[in-house]
Amino acid sequence: MTTLGYALLGLLAREPASGYDLKRQLQAPIGFFWRARHSQIYPELARLEAIGLVTYQVVAQHDLPDKKVYTITAEGRGALRDWVATPAEAPVVRDEVLLKTFSLWLVEPAAAVALVRDQERRHVEQLQVYEGLHQQLVQRAGAALTHWDSPYFASYITLQKGIGAERQYLEWCRWVVLLLEQPA
């Protein structure tokens, strides 16, 4: 089993979804800690189906193309639970901006500021997306938000991590710009 497989099971454990749905979820709500393109998702779903962790039904839509709606099986849920209880690997980050920051002393402050401001803009947007998701979550979840065995609770705590990370990134961007624009 690949990690992406567990990511998909984690989403399907909440509700059935098509490959296309999963693709979108791997961009927005969980995209800040795991990403995948559709060219990786479709074959992975086929593999999960082949080993019996998910099943699917073709659903015809009146106004849109047909879709395959995948559902997690009891075995899939079991496999996911076992995996969660197992120690995790250390996070891996590949941040091109920080890599460029590391060599920032080679370029003029103006170019440096442009780089960091660009990143700042990106994180402002991301923060807004996550805060929107947080609002939705609080409304939908109600009391379940703080129950450890509710998927809302799990969504809530992961989302809080994302919001915290975005805020920290923003603070850093602003601090760097301040340093760079400081009169010499």
Cβ-based nearer residue to DNA, 42 or 156: 42
Q: Which residues neighbour 60 within 8 Å (Cβ) at sequence distance 6 or greater?
A: 66
Q: Please state, in angstroms and rounded to a whole number, the distance separating the CA atoms of residues 50 and 57.
A: 14
User: Residue 18 interacts with DNA (CB under 7 A)?
Assistant: yes
Cβ-based nearer residue to DNA, 40 or 101: 40
**170, 40 contact by CB (below 8 A):** no
User: Residue 3 interacts with a copy of itself (CB under 8 A)?
Assistant: yes
User: Residue 86 interacts with DNA (CB under 7 A)?
Assistant: no
Per-residue mark of binding to a copy of itself, 103-122 (x: CB under 8 A): xxxxx-x-xx--x--xx--x
Q: Please state, in angstroms and rounded to a whole number, the distance separating the CA atoms of residues 103 and 3.
A: 33
Which token pair is 87? 């120690």
- Of the listed pieces 61-69, 107-115, 132-140, 166-174, which binds DNA according to CB under 7 A? 61-69
Among 14, 38, 121, 174, binds DNA (CB under 7 A): 38
Q: How far is CA 13 from each of CA 53, 118, 168, rounded to the nearest angstrom?
A: 11, 37, 31
How many residues interact with a copy of itself (rule CB under 8 A)? Answer: 69
User: Residue 20 interacts with a copy of itself (CB under 8 A)?
Assistant: no
Among 9, 12, 36, 79, binds DNA (CB under 7 A): 36
User: Residue 66 interacts with a copy of itself (CB under 8 A)?
Assistant: no
Q: Could you tell which of DNA, a copy of itself, none binds residue 97, using a CB distance below 5 to 8 A set by kind?
A: a copy of itself
Q: How far is CA 2 from each of CA 7, 10, 47, 160, rounded to the nearest angstrom?
A: 9, 13, 10, 26
Annotate 103-127 with DSSP letters as a single string: TGGGS-HHHHHHHHHHHHHHHHHHH
Residues making contact with DNA (CB under 7 A)? 2-4, 18-21, 23, 35-40, 42-43, 45-46, 61-68, 92, 94
